[in-house]
Chain A
Amino acid sequence: MAADEETVLVVEDEDEARNSLMQILEFEGFRALGFSNGAEALNYLMDSKEPCLIVMDIRMPVMGGSEFRQAMLLQPRLAKIPVIVVTALEPSAAAGLSALRVFTKPVDVDALVNVVRQNC
């Protein structure tokens, strides 16, 4: 299945943060799809085109970002999708997740959009 070059997944359990980031990405010309935990996003990825990038939080209910990323890394098709981590934890919490970039909250939106633009 070919990659979906304009779609960015936003995996974040906090509704306000997810919706606002999706609106910013849409304003910047990308298609944003939101999921409130890793399990929902993984379920979507199973039978959809790969997005050009995933922005994800680490601490989320049901399935957190670390578990989600580990599940992705087990599947070659999903392992190659670039991931940006946005977390309220220390950046070291993203160690081992093979993240393209790690942002701490409050996120530097312009820098994040630049990374998205370079990959989508």
Chain B
Amino acid sequence: MSDALKSRDEFIAIAAHELRNPLNVFLLNLQLLHRLIGTPAKVEQLRPLVEKAREQVGRISMLVDRLLDVTRIRTGTFELFRENLDLSALIREVVQRFAGEYPAVAFSAEIAGQIQGKWDRVRMDQAFTNLLSNAVKYGAGRPVALGAQVERDTAVIEVRDHGVGISADDLGRIFDRFERAVGRAHNDGLGLGLWITRQIVQAHGGTIIAESEPGKGSIFTIRLPIQLE
């Protein structure tokens, strides 16, 4: 079998596997709803189950979007829609969203007042979301710090966790497709997040690097050229 076909088959197998988890939670919630509907259960008991089922559909949609991103990137149809954007404001929004979703994790942000440039809002949101998701997933519940500053004509964004960290061997491949340094035992995500993040950053003319010490945490640094026109 050619490498391309093998790679495609592996990709489909991984995608199918990852879709099974949110589908499972979705179905379990529906089954629970089905049972409760036949009882004098109150609306307040049923509402959270509907909400959880809805969240799982969101998770499935996100996975499908990621699969489509891979196809877009591979076929060269991945486009940026640059607009005037305050990166600081966007980062604050993303941090607030995470702080709401993960109240047990302490998020801190040291962000310059404004970082104006022309970037794709949706894609940059996706890149920061991917990095913060990883920081939470592998952060062992410890604080996550985010920094965003301007150095000359470059925006420098740093996401730091204090979790399990990444070994020197794994650091070289975490930006590859389907790679997840410690993820074999964690069962969500396609192992595509960092690969897509790097594609987004590179499409904006930027770079992303990772530094880590096993057991002490990781730092991901994005450097984006500030383009005003």
Which residues does A use to contact B, with CB under 8 Å?
Answer: 13-14, 16-17, 20-21, 23-24, 27, 57, 59-62, 64, 86, 88-89, 104-107, 109-110
Contact = CB atoms under 8 A, between A and B. Distances in A.
B152 interface: no
Contact of B24 (A13, A17, A27): A17
A14 B187 contact: yes
A106 B52 contact: no
B28 A88 contact: no
A5 to B, nearest CB: 22
Nearest to A104: B20
Nearest to A109: B31
18 contacts: A13-B186, A13-B187, A14-B21, A14-B25, A16-B29, A20-B31, A20-B32, A20-B52, A24-B32, A24-B35, A27-B36, A59-B186, A88-B20, A88-B21, A106-B20, A106-B27, A107-B27, A110-B31
Given A59-B184, A61-B185, A88 B17 contact: yes
Q: Classify the secondary structure of B's interface with A.
A: helix
B32 A27 contact: yes
A20 B36 CA distance: 12
Contacts, number: 68
Interface string B28-68: 11011001100000000000010010001000000000000
Interface in B171-203: 184-188
A104 to B, nearest CB: 7
A107 B36 contact: no
A88 B24 contact: yes
A30 B24 CA distance: 21
- Greatest chain B CB density within 10 A among A57, A106, A109 is at A106
- Greatest chain A CB density within 10 A among B21, B24, B26, B27 is at B24
B23 interface: yes
Given A13-B187, A88-B21, A104-B20, A21 B35 contact: no
B20 A105 contact: yes
What are the nearest 5 A-B pairs in CB distance? Answer: A105-B24, A20-B28, A88-B20, A106-B27, A105-B20
Contacts of A57: 187
A60 to B, nearest CB: 6
A62 to B, nearest CB: 8
B185 A23 contact: no
Contacts of B32: 20, 23-24, 27
Given A13-B187, A20-B28, A109-B31, 10 more contacts: A16-B25, A16-B56, A20-B29, A20-B31, A60-B187, A64-B185, A88-B21, A105-B20, A109-B28, A110-B31
